[in-house]
Amino acid sequence: MNGNTQPDDSITPQSGSLAHDRARLDDLESRIAYQEHWLESLDKAVAAQERRLAQLERMSELMGQRLREQHQAINATSEDSDYRAENEVPPHY
């Protein structure tokens, strides 16, 4: 060490340091409150999106089931009848 070392500012008491520390503490508390507010808002948004996603997945399952049922019904009726799309005459003839 060369003897020209400066004391650490965080250890050395200075005039007004209490006011400065209090201002910094108030600033940090304000930031934490702001972050907690946004975290709560984001949490609510994510929960709402999860509920909506579950609802949409259920709707998709139901639509897929109905589509399969309709496809099976169409196949069952086309097998029972003599109707074939390829035998139909186009409307312009």
In whole angstroms, what is the distance from residue 42 CA to residue 35 CA?
10
Alpha helix ranges (H) inside 1-93: 17-80
Whole-structure pTM value = 0.52
> What pLDDT, in 10s, does the model give residues 1-37?
455 555 555 555 555 799 999 999 999 999 999 999 9
Band of the pLDDT at 77, cuts 50, 70, 90? confident
User: Could you give the CA distance from residue 50 to residue 56 in angstroms, rounded to a whole number?
Assistant: 10
Q: How confident is the model at residue 85 (pLDDT cuts 50, 70, 90)?
A: low
How high is the pLDDT of residue 15?
A: 54
The Cα 74–Cα 53 span in angstroms is 31
